[in-house]
Amino acid sequence: MMELMALIIPDALSTSQFSILIICSFMTSAITSVMGVGGGALLIAVMASIIPASAIIPVHAVVQLSSNSSRCWLLRQHVRRAIILWFVVGSVLGAALGGHLVLNLPAEAITLILGCFILSSCWLPITRGLGGKKSIAALGSITTFLTMFIGATGPFVIASLKHMITERKELVSTTAALMTIQHSIKALVFGLFGFAFMEWIGVIGLMIATGFLGTLAGQYLLDRFPNHQYHKALKILLSLIALRLIWSSLMVLI
C-alpha cells in the first residue's frame, strides 16, 4: 500500500496535502453543480496553498475539464449550442497569447494574480450582458487569456451569460460546456509548452474520479438545495483565502 501511494503522490506533496486535494475535488464539483459556479475558484484557491505555483493552472485545467464535461453531459439537453462556436473562435486566440506569457511569470506573481482575481470575482458585479456573436467571441478570447493565469474564470463567464440565459439549468449547462472548451484548449496549450503532466497523473486521476462523484451529488441537490445563504458563506470563505494568497505573495515581492 505504501509503495502504491509513493507512486501516486508527487514528491512535492505530503500525504495529508494529497488527501485534502482529493476531498476538495469532490466538494467543489458538488458546489458548482448546485450553484453553477464557485467550485473551480475555491478548488484553485486551495491548490494554490498546497502545490507548486508552476503546476497549479495545468493540473487545475485537466481536473476542471473532467468536472465540467461530466456536468455538461448530464445536462446536455439544456445546453444553448448556438453560443459554443463563437466562444471557441475567441478561446483559441486567448489561449495562445496567455500560454506564452504565463510560463515566463514568477511564482509569486501568479499567486498574487490568483488572489486578486478570486477576490474580485466575489465582490465586483458584472452587470452588462452579451450582445451577439462578436461579444461571445470576445468573451471567449478574454476569459481564455485570463484563465491561463488565474485558472477559474467561470464567475466572469456565468455573470456575462446570466443576462442572456435566465433558466437555471440552461445557464449551468451552457457555462459547463463553455468551460469544457476553455479547459480543453488550456490543457492542450500547456502540454505543447512542455508541462510534465505525467508527474501529476496520480493526483489528476483521483481528483477526476472524486470530482465526478461530486458532480453526481450536486445534480441530485440542484433542485433541492437553497443556495442563497450558502452563496454568502462561499463568498466569505473565498475572500479569506484570496486575502491570504495576496498577503503571502506581497510579503515575498515587496
List, in order, residues 6 or more apart from 226 with CB less than 8 Å away: none
pLDDT band at 100 (very low <50, low <70, confident <90, very high): low
Three cell numbers at 237? 470563505
Q: Express each pLDDT in 24-50 by its tens digit.
A: 999 988 888 877 767 887 888 888 888
Between CA 83 and CA 132 the distance in angstroms is 9
Between CA 229 and CA 118 the distance in angstroms is 19
Percent of the chain residues past pLDDT 90, beyond the cut: 9
pLDDT at 136: 84
pLDDT at 141: 86
Indicate the pTM of the whole model: 0.76
Three cell numbers at 27? 466538494
Percent of the chain residues past pLDDT 70, beyond the cut: 81
Q: Express each pLDDT in 104-131 by its tens digit.
A: 666 677 678 777 877 776 776 655 555 5
pLDDT at 128: 53
Q: Express each pLDDT in 127-153 by its tens digit.
A: 555 556 778 888 888 888 877 777 677
CA distances from residue 203 to 25, 34, 83, 92, 126 in whole angstroms, order as listed: 10, 24, 33, 27, 34
3-class SS letters over the chain: CHHHHHHHCCCCCCHHHHHHHHHHHHHHHHHHHHHCCCHHHHHHHHHHCCCCHHHHHHHHHHHHHHHHHHHHHHCHHHCCHHHHHHHHHHHHHHHHHHHHHHCCCCHHHHHHHHHHHHHHHHHCCCCCCCCCHHHHHHHHHHHHHHHHHHCCCHHHHHHHHCCCCCCHHHHHHHHHHHHHHHHHHHHHHHHHCCCCHHHHHHHHHHHHHHHHHHHHHHHHHCCCCCCHHHHHHHHHHHHHHHHHHHHHHHHHHC
pLDDT at 106: 67
pLDDT band at 237 (very low <50, low <70, confident <90, very high): confident
The answer to whether 70 and 162 have CB atoms below 8 angstroms apart is no
Of 28-42, 56-70, 84-98, 134-148, highest mean pLDDT: 56-70
List, in order, residues 6 or more apart from 76 with CB less than 8 Å away: 173
pLDDT at 230: 63
pLDDT band at 229 (very low <50, low <70, confident <90, very high): low
pLDDT at 54: 79
Q: Express each pLDDT in 166-211 by its tens digit.
A: 777 888 889 889 999 888 888 888 888 778 788 888 889 999 999 9
pLDDT at 241: 75
The answer to whether 239 and 119 have CB atoms below 8 angstroms apart is yes
| Among 147, 181, 153, CA closest to 37 | 153
pLDDT at 208: 93
pLDDT at 178: 92
